[in-house]
């Protein structure tokens, strides 16, 4: 991909004085799984013309990097099912070489990792997050609808063999995996991987039992604390997880609690969908269209201006609550749209 030299501009600061240094970009809405809390089984995907081309995604990421973004996470859908995704990752890696970008990483379901791990490392990717909600193959198939746990575990082993650090993300689901967390800790920490538990979020019209599957992590933490020694640590990766160290394993366990603990004060991130829509907050509907600015001009001027305008509207926090009376999600779009 050929590019004009990028010039640094003023860093992005929101109305509350928070610098936006972390960008999550969904590179596709498609996925080879259909996880029950993320997608409907019969998802209708976006027409190709609506989705940003790899060239446009590169321009968009580069514009944010020129405005002070230091950490870039690629998400989906499943980012590694996007055709020719490695050409985008190779191109963006120039910002790692120049020192303008500190970290390039991705969140993946692991199904394609065995194929791409070595090249990801060659492009400067140092760690990946892999979503695994259960270690029971039958349950895994039920949660993901189409996924194969053995293939994901093979991908994780390939990633580690290639030199990638792997962190496991698990969504805590009441009545589904709540009795597996001890086993997941032993598995992840036994293989040198951090584990992060995530509260289910009220996004998208998915299944009616979503409210019943809501499991507060405060409760999980209390239960885990009866069996393990959990030590609070100041460790941060730039995201919203709060970490403890488990004394018995020496490994880290993270908690992401958007519902019971608002982590908004220190929010340094924004998300862009694969159609070029910028969400200033995962838990708000307010958004900005960057695709029009991208397609309006060869120059990045309109795009940079659209980004600055949008960041000036970044809210102080989100209003995530699962409304048990109405049984409605707080935000109507599917999780797969904003990539987590």
Instruction: Say if residue 35 carries a ligand binding annotation.
Output: yes
Residue 255, token pair as written in the block: 């908690």
CA angle at 273 for the pair 151 and 32, rounded to the nearest 5°: 20
Instruction: Say if residue 131 carries a ligand binding annotation.
Output: yes
Integer CA distances (angstroms), 163 to 121, 130, 156, 213, in order = 7, 15, 11, 36
The candidate with the shortest Cα–Cα distance to 91, out of 104, 73, 80, is 104
Instruction: Say if residue 73 carries a ligand binding annotation.
Output: yes
Instruction: Say if residue 281 carries a ligand binding annotation.
Output: yes
Instruction: Say if residue 269 carries a ligand binding annotation.
Output: yes
Instruction: Say if residue 38 carries a ligand binding annotation.
Output: yes
Residue 109, token pair as written in the block: 């379901």
Instruction: Say if residue 274 carries a ligand binding annotation.
Output: no
Evaluate whether 94 touches 74 at the Cβ level (below 8 Å). Answer: no
Instruction: Say if residue 267 carries a ligand binding annotation.
Output: yes
Instruction: Say if residue 37 carries a ligand binding annotation.
Output: yes
Question: Distance between CA atoms of 326 and 258, rounded to whole angstroms?
Answer: 20
The candidate with the shortest Cα–Cα distance to 199, out of 181, 177, 172, is 172
Instruction: Say if residue 9 carries a ligand binding annotation.
Output: no
Evaluate whether 59 touches 92 at the Cβ level (below 8 Å). Answer: no
- Helix ranges (H only) for the chain are 54-66, 85-92, 94-98, 113-122, 137-144, 149-162, 181-190, 210-213, 217-225, 291-296, 301-311, 335-338
Burial of 285 (0-12, 13-18, 19+ CB in 10 A): exposed
Question: Pairing mode, if any, of strands 71-75 and 242-246?
Answer: unpaired
Let me know how long the chain is.
Answer: 340
Instruction: Say if residue 220 carries a ligand binding annotation.
Output: no
Integer CA distances (angstroms), 30 to 23, 40, 51, 53, 218, in order = 20, 12, 11, 14, 33
Instruction: Say if residue 61 carries a ligand binding annotation.
Output: no
Q: Which residue ranges are tagged as binding site for S-adenosyl-L-methionine? A: 37, 77, 131, 201
Q: Which residue ranges are tagged as binding site? A: 24, 31, 35, 37-38, 73, 77, 107, 131, 167, 201, 264, 267, 269-271, 281
Q: Which residue ranges are tagged as binding site for GTP? A: 24, 73, 107, 167, 269-271
Q: Which residue ranges are tagged as binding site for [4Fe-4S] cluster? A: 31, 35, 38, 264, 267, 281
């Amino acid at each position: 991909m050929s590019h004009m030299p990028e010039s640094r501009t003023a860093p992005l600061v929101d109305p509350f004085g928070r610098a936006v240094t972390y960008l999550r970009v969904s590179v596709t809405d498609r996925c080879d799984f259909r996880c029950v809390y993320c997608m409907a089984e019969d998802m209708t995907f976006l027409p190709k013309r609506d989705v940003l081309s790899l060239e446009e995604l590169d321009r968009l990421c580069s514009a944010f990097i020129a405005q002070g973004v230091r950490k870039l996470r690629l998400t989906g859908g499943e980012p590694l099912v996007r055709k020719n995704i490695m050409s985008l990752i190779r191109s963006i890696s120039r910002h790692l070489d120049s020192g303008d970008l500190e970290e390039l990483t991705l969140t993946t379901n692991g199904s394609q990792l065995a194929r791409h791990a070595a090249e990801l490392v060659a492009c400067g990717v140092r760690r990946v997050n892999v979503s695994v909600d259960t270690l029971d193959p039958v349950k895994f198939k039920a949660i993901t609808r189409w996924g194969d746990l053995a293939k994901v575990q093979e991908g994780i082993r390939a990633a580690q063999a290639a030199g990638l650090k792997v962190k496991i993300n698990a969504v805590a689901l009441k009545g589904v995996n709540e009795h597996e967390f001890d086993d997941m800790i032993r598995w992840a920490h036994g293989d040198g991987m951090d584990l992060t538990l995530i509260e289910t979020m009220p996004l998208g019209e998915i299944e009616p039992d979503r409210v019943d599957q809501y499991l507060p992590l405060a409760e999980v933490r209390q239960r885990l604390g009866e069996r393990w020694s959990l030590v609070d640590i100041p460790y941060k990766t730039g995201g919203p997880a709060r970490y403890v160290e488990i004394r018995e394993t020496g490994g880290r366990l993270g908690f992401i609690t958007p519902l019971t603990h608002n982590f908004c004060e220190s929010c340094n991130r924004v998300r862009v969908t694969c159609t070029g829509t910028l969400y200033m907050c995962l838990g708000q509907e307010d958004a900005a269209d960057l695709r029009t600015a991208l397609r309006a001009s060869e120059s990045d001027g309109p795009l940079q201006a659209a980004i600055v305008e949008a960041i000036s509207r970044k809210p102080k926090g989100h209003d995530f609550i699962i409304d048990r009376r109405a049984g409605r999600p707080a935000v109507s779009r599917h999780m797969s749209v904003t990539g987590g």
